[in-house]
Chains A and B, each alone.
Chain A
Amino acid sequence: MSDNTTANYSLGGQVPTGPKILTSRWESADGHTYDGYVRTGGYTALRKALTTMSPAQVHDEVKASEMQGRGGAGFPAGTKWGFLPADVHPRYLVINGDESEPGTYKDRLLMEKDPHQLIEGIIIACYAFGAAQAFLYVRGEMALAQERLAQALNDAYANNLVGKRICGTDFSVDITLTWGAGAYIVGEETALIESLEGERGMPRLKPPFFPASKGLYMQPTIVNNVETLSNLPYIVNQGGTSFKDLGGATSSGMRIFAVSGHVNKPGVFEVPNGITTFRMLFEAPEYCGGVRSDRKVKAFIPGGASAMWFFDEHLDLPLDKPTVDQAGSMLGSGAIVVMDETTDMVKACWRVVRFFARESCGKCTPCREGTTWLERILHRILTGNGRREDLDLLFEVSESISPGLAWPPRQTTICPLGPSAVSPIASAVNRFRHEFEHYIEHGRAIAGVEYVPMHAGSSHGAHAHV
């Protein structure tokens, strides 16, 4: 990005820039290969950590980086590692590559385009907190990522970068590559652990099953996201402070956001964390280049399907965790979906709710029953069979899953999936109530939105498979 592109830019100030620390090999044809990785500085951080730093020093750099986990919750990674009880072994690292939050699209690219960077991050993490075995759990539907990681692991083993006595030191660690088989809920860390144990992927109750103390096989376990670990080579090579300085005061480093929906150039962008605003991402020519057909933004999802929706008054907020939290939503997994003014909000709301209804694991009654009911009510509104009392009923059912419909959500369930289904309802019904009422009164969308009639029998209106 040059000054020329930003000079004519109407945002009042330049769009912040930063180095590509996660995506530097994405454009390179052989960035995913061992040769391509080593040629561009790969595995230097691992050698540096193993031969010149103690595990505690590596952990200190990660603490100094103040990196917030990139999986959704945003908990500081260095602090999380610190929860492991001292001297309890074996302890495990589990890598969460089960990316499935609607709108989220970055871990797959990190695994496909730079698998060695992730592997290097994994070994560094294992060294820092003393794990002897790591489990790399990739989403089942990602065949190319699985293939690239398998090749990368075989090459890393062959070059003594994983396995016994890595780089000639007395540090040994194994990485077991495995993958899921289609279940969104397995992205939740305790459900992922259940799945790794060969079980149905249903979340465990916390407490007592906090993974750091009682995780995989009831041993201390750290579950880290792919993007989180992919940052470690940079942090070790450049230092935690230098990582921290790339971002804003309360959000450190660079961060990847996927922007999809009604923008001219949807894309996956690595931006300075905490200082770039939503408007910059949507409008800047180097990012999305504006909303399609110069329309206005009607709503956008700032952090994946589980997040509360944002509207035009939120456009100038920075992509900064505390700021977005305080505004009543979350940055989640870096998934932004933009809806322009022609979007049928009833249909958008139903589609997100149908996702949660389909993906509820069924363990907790409020979620299993509630999400199904919510989907059915919205579906009948959409097909012209809505009832006057339906909007109240939506809120009543929502209340039973997430009392008070507050943010952050309270929950009557073990995990946050159920309350997540309430976010689109609380967002869309509160803001666009007239659209729902119009459907109930007239059996169709309001004028001015893209309206595709839905019939009970068509695939377009298929019920959730629950």
Chain B
Amino acid sequence: MSRFNDSNVTLAKEIIGRFPRPKSAVIPLLHLAQEQDGYVTRDAMSHIAELVNVTTAEVYGTATFYEMFKFEPIGKYCVNVCTNIACQLVGGWELLEHAEEKLGIKAGSTTEDGLFTIEDVECIAACTEAPAIQVNYRYRYKVTAENLDQLIDDLRAGRLADEIPPHGTLARVRQRTTDTWANTGIEAQAKVDAR
């Protein structure tokens, strides 16, 4: 299971077409796989390998370098609490501990109902809004224990479904390959490869 579905195969081919060399599409395709299934399955990695003409081991080798790719199911909502210096100075750790207490799990693990994962993360570029967190990479600024509780209750009740898609979905707008796509880079690359 969990190879790309038909519409994602079409999308994958479009993405591959935007790079001079197919292997460059590995990371975007891993994101696409994670969007489809919530995490990156072995089958998806094999499918990516076929699409870009490398071995599954190469795809796996690339995938495991990057922290955002998960290789087993995680929570529908991934709550990332920043504890790096700017957040630490104004209560990032205390916020992480509060989240752990509220959800009854430690950072790096998932609630039994499969709804929440907590991560203790590095700087997320919101330092002047510390302490900051992300839920599925959507920001919440100047987070207090109270509004973290509220956020978790809202997520559990499905009240933020419009704003925060399930884990795996990043941008909800995709770059389109249009008629004005010149492909000049690709043509020029082909000339170099032919030499």
Contact = CB atoms under 8 A, between A and B. Distances in A.
B126 A132 contact: no
Interface in B60-101: 61-62, 65-69, 80, 83-86, 88-90, 93-94, 96-97, 100
Contacts of B124: 141
B26 A198 contact: yes
B145 to A, nearest CB: 15
A154 B182 contact: no
Contacts of A347: 88
Given A174-B185, A355-B122, A355-B123, A337 B85 contact: yes
Contact of B138 (A143, A181, A348): A143
B27 A351 contact: no
A157 B180 contact: yes
26 contacts: A99-B125, A102-B85, A105-B128, A133-B184, A144-B139, A147-B173, A150-B174, A154-B178, A164-B181, A174-B18, A178-B27, A179-B28, A180-B27, A183-B66, A183-B67, A197-B21, A198-B26, A198-B54, A217-B20, A217-B21, A219-B189, A261-B90, A337-B89, A459-B107, A462-B120, A465-B108
Nearest to A219: B192
A153 interface: yes
A196 B62 CA distance: 11
Interface string A387-420: 0000000000000000000000000000000000
A89 B187 CA distance: 11
Given A163-B181, A268-B128, A359 B122 contact: yes
Interface in A302-333: 305
Interface string B34-72: 000000000000000000101000000110011111000
A437 interface: no
B93 A452 contact: yes
A335 B186 CA distance: 37
Given A102-B84, A200-B65, A90 B188 contact: yes
Interface string B103-132: 000111000000000001011111111100
A146 interface: yes
The CB with the most chain A CB atoms within 10 A, among B21, B23, B68, is that of B68
Given A89-B188, A178-B28, A196-B24, A459 B125 contact: no
Nearest to B178: A157
How big is the A interface, by class?
35 or more
Nearest to A265: B128
Contact of A101 (B23, B62, B123): B123
The CB with the most chain B CB atoms within 10 A, among A164, A259, A268, A347, is that of A164
Given A143-B136, A150-B173, A157-B181, 15 more contacts: A90-B189, A90-B192, A102-B122, A132-B188, A143-B137, A144-B138, A147-B173, A157-B180, A172-B182, A176-B19, A183-B66, A199-B23, A260-B128, A261-B89, A459-B100
Contacts of B134: 141
Given A266-B128, A459-B96, A352 B170 contact: no
Nearest to A200: B65
Nearest to A268: B128
Given A197-B21, A358-B122, A459-B93, A181 B27 contact: yes
A140 B138 contact: no
B85 A301 contact: yes
A61 to B, nearest CB: 25
Contacts of A277: none
A103 interface: yes
A195 interface: yes
Given A150-B175, A301-B85, A459-B107, A164 B180 contact: yes
Interface in A234-261: 258-261
A313 B54 CA distance: 56
Contacts of A1: none
A458 interface: yes
A127 to B, nearest CB: 13
Contacts of A339: 89
A40 B96 CA distance: 42
Contacts of B61: 200
B62 A198 contact: yes
A154 B108 CA distance: 37
A305 B137 CA distance: 22
Given A101-B123, A150-B175, A339-B89, A198 B25 contact: yes
Contacts of A101: 123
A347 B172 CA distance: 39
Given A105-B125, A198-B27, A358-B122, A132 B67 contact: no
A358 B85 CA distance: 14
Contact of A90 (B83, B120, B122, B185): B185
Interface string A137-153: 00111111011001101
